[in-house]
């Protein structure tokens, strides 16, 4: 990405292709990719609602205390933003779990379909695209913010089946995007190019040698064509060297522990592996938009490493007065928060390439859920907790709204990137525009 950004800059100066490889890597041109700080967005999902009295701060404003579930985030308190009273108002087909998941990032109804949820009307996929993909498309249009992947979708123990409960990211109507929940597969996607580059470098060496051999045995006109081919080869070699140099400066390729199977009891290890890949994908500027989906709506993980044998979804149906069940649900949601805290730690301790603080200073993480609370299946008071400084919001606060549509929050995320769209998802729920008190 670094090489291509400099190339765009040099072209504006009228530098031709022939001279490009010789000036592409001059140190004095390093500023060409650093004129504007990077902004990143990561949406993290955990399922089945929260335990409201153990999650939401009682206070509003900057003087608030963290409840038990959010305690792991104490070191990052000044970078937190609690948004109570943000509701998913989208109705229509599908049960609350389905609409909670399928409308979470799209803000629009599900299509009619044949996926049956409880006793509710069957439904299909979302009828719109998700906000992460809207922002991705916006960033990919500009050479200064364009990245290799545009967006990356990480997962942990997401079921193989494809249905409305398992997908929250959509590239368009009826177009769900499957998260990659196998860290080895994600590693291959991120770093497979290294092997490709090595093979290409070898091919270019052979090609360059062959061109030199042929040059003395052809006409002047053909030599001109060979010279053009040789110039192309030199450009490709310069690009490969630039890629290798920038990768070496930016970060080391993570070492993956081998042989970790996608099994329930391996969730803690898989989560940590995926978080390391998220951090490295941001550090290498592979993407500036990502999602991190831990299980799925109605996810039934049994967190035996916490001493809990029951599945999460079954526990979430227990009543408020079942103290033992609520204690277990608090432990489960605290574990999810610990994953977020570890991600924050890794981002905070990783310097932003070229200065400008840490990766966390330039990243906004949105932790959310498909329900406000599991036993009532409410779509009111969806847990929305933002962390980090990526979108220039005024952090370190607890805010309480009076049932504003979550479309306005999704709109706010786009505006935080400078993408001033007038509405997102169902237009009626964007009335009032972005949430004005976030900045």
Q: Is 426 helix (H, G, I), strand (E, B) or coil?
A: coil
Mean pLDDT for the stretch of residues 251-260: 86
Check: CB of residue 183 under 8 Å from CB of residue 260. Answer: yes
Rounded to the nearest 10 degrees, what angle do helices 183-215 and 267-283 cross at? 40
Q: Positive or negative, the Cα torsion across 45, 48, 54, 60?
A: positive
171 pLDDT above the threshold of 80: yes
pLDDT of residue 197: 54
What are the sequence ranges of the domains in the chain?
Answer: 1-35, 40-182+264-430, 184-261
Specify the pLDDT at position 16: 47
pLDDT at residue 277 in the model: 98
Check if the beta carbon of residue 234 is closer than 8 Å to that of residue 21.
Answer: yes
- DSSP 8-state secondary structure symbol assigned to residue 252: P
- What is the distance between the alpha carbons of residues 169 and 129, in angstroms, rounded to a whole number? 7
- Give me the pLDDT at residue 30, please: 41
Residue 233, pLDDT above cutoff 90: no
Region 370-387 average pLDDT: 98
Q: Which residues lie closer than 8 Å to 432 by C-beta, 6 or more apart?
A: 404, 408
* 255 to 1, 115, 187, 276, 297: CA distances (angstroms): 23, 40, 10, 10, 31
Segment 51-63 mean pLDDT: 98
Render pLDDT for 285-299 as a digit per residue (tens, 0 to 9).
Answer: 999 999 999 999 999
For residue 118, the model assigns a pLDDT of 72
* Other C-beta atoms lying within 10 Å of the C-beta of residue 375: 18
Give percent of the chain with pLDDT exceeding 70. Answer: 80
| Strand 170-172, strand 175-176: pairing | antiparallel
| Mean predicted confidence (pLDDT) in 21-35 | 42
* Predicted pLDDT at 205: 65
Give yes or no for residue 24 having a pLDDT over 80.
no
| Residue whose C-alpha is closest to residue 381's, from 391, 371, 390 | 371
Q: How far apart are CA 418 and CA 166, in angstroms?
A: 30
Res 98: pLDDT: 95
Q: Which residues, 6+ apart, have CB-to-CB distance to 139 below 8 Å?
A: 145, 146, 147, 150, 288, 289, 417
Q: What is the pLDDT of residue 228?
A: 67
Q: What is the mean pLDDT of the chain?
A: 87
Q: What stretch of H or E contains 151?
A: strand 150-156
The total number of residues shown for the chain amounts to 439
CB 82 within 8 A of CB 415: no
239 or 150, which is more confident?
150
Which stretch of 240-249, 324-333, 429-438 has the lowest confidence by average pLDDT? 240-249
What's the average model confidence in pLDDT over 114-123? 83
Question: Angle formed by the axes of helices 2-12 and 220-250, to 10°?
Answer: 130
Tell me what pLDDT residue 299 has.
95
More confident residue, 9 or 273: 273
Could you tell me which of 87, 115, 110, 113 has the C-alpha nearest to residue 99?
110
Tokens of 155: 């997962």
Task: Give dist(CA 245, CA 117) in Å, integer.
Answer: 52
> How far apart are alpha carbons 418 and 248 in whole angstroms?
31
pLDDT tops 90 at residue 204:
no
Confidence of residue 116 (pLDDT cuts 50, 70, 90): confident
Confidence of residue 220 (pLDDT cuts 50, 70, 90): confident
pLDDT digits (tens, 9 = 90+) for 99-111: 999 999 999 999 9
What does the pLDDT look like over 132-147, one tens digit per residue? 999 999 999 999 999 9
If you ran DSSP here, which 8-state letter would residue 253 be given?
A: P
Q: What is the DSSP letter of 227?
A: H
Cα gap 137→135, rounded to integer Å:
5
Protein fold of 40-182+264-430: Alkaline Phosphatase, subunit A (3.40.720)
- What confidence category does residue 239 fall into, taking pLDDT thresholds of 50, 70 and 90? low
Give pLDDT, residue 225. Answer: 67
Q: Parallel, antiparallel, or unpaired: how do β-strands 385-387 and 363-368 relate?
A: antiparallel
How confident is the model at residue 355, as a pLDDT? 84
Residue found under tokens 């010279």: 227
The sign one gets for the Cα dihedral 174, 138, 132, 436 is negative
Alpha helix segments (H runs only) across 251-382: 267-283, 312-316, 323-348
For the chain, how long is the longest CA-to-CA vector? 91
Statement: residue 45 has pLDDT above 60: yes
Evaluate if residue 241 carries a pLDDT over 50: yes
Give residue-wise pLDDT tens across range 305-327. 999 999 999 999 999 999 999 99
pLDDT (tens digit per residue) in 176-199:
999 999 999 999 999 986 555 555
Work out the pLDDT band at 229, boundaries 50, 70, 90.
low
pLDDT for residue 307:
98
């Amino acid at each position: 990405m670094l090489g291509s950004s400099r190339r765009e800059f040099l072209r504006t100066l009228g530098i031709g292709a022939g001279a490009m490889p010789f000036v592409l890597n001059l140190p004095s041109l390093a500023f060409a990719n650093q004129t504007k700080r990077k902004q990143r967005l990561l949406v993290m999902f955990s399922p089945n609602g929260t335990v409201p009295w153990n999650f939401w701060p009682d206070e509003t404003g900057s003087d608030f205390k963290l409840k038990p579930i959010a305690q792991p985030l104490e070191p990052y308190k000044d970078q937190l933003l609690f948004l109570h009273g943000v509701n998913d108002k989208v109705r229509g087909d599908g049960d609350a779990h389905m609409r909670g998941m399928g409308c979470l990032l799209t803000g629009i109804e599900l299509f009619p379909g044949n996926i049956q949820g409880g006793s509710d009307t069957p439904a299909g996929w979302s009828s719109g695209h998700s906000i992460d993909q809207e922002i991705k498309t916006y960033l990919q249009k500009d050479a200064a913010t364009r990245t290799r992947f545009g967006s990356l979708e990480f997962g942990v123990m997401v079921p193989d089946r494809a249905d409305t409960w398992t997908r929250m990211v959509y590239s368009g109507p009826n177009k769900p995007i499957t998260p990659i929940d196998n860290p080895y597969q994600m590693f291959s996607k991120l770093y497979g190019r290294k092997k490709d580059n090595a093979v290409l470098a070898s091919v270019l060496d052979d090609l360059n040698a062959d061109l030199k051999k042929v040059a003395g045995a052809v006409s002047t006109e053909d030599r001109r064509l060979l010279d053009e081919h040789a110039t192309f080869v030199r450009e490709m070699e310069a690009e490969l060297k630039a890629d290798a140099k920038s990768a070496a400066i930016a970060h080391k390729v993570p070492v993956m522990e081998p042989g970790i199977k996608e099994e329930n009891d391996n969730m803690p290890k898989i989560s940590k592996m995926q978080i390391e890949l998220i951090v490295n994908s941001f550090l290498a500027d592979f993407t500036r938009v990502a999602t991190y989906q831990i299980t799925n709506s109605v996810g039934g993980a049994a967190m035996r490493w916490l001493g809990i044998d029951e599945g999460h979804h079954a526990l979430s149906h227990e009543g408020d007065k079942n103290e033992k069940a609520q204690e277990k649900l608090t432990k489960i949601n605290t574990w999810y928060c610990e994953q977020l805290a570890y991600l924050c730690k890794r981002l905070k301790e990783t310097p932003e390439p070229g200065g400008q603080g840490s990766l966390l200073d330039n990243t906004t993480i949105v932790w959310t859920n498909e329900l406000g609370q599991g036993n009532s299946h409410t779509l009111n008071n969806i847990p929305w907790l933002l962390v980090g400084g990526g979108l220039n919001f005024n952090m370190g606060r607890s805010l309480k709204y009076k049932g504003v549509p979550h479309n306005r929050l999704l709109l706010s995320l786009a505006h935080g990137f400078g993408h001033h769209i007038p509405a997102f998802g169902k237009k009626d729920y964007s009335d009032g525009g972005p949430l004005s008190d976030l900045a």
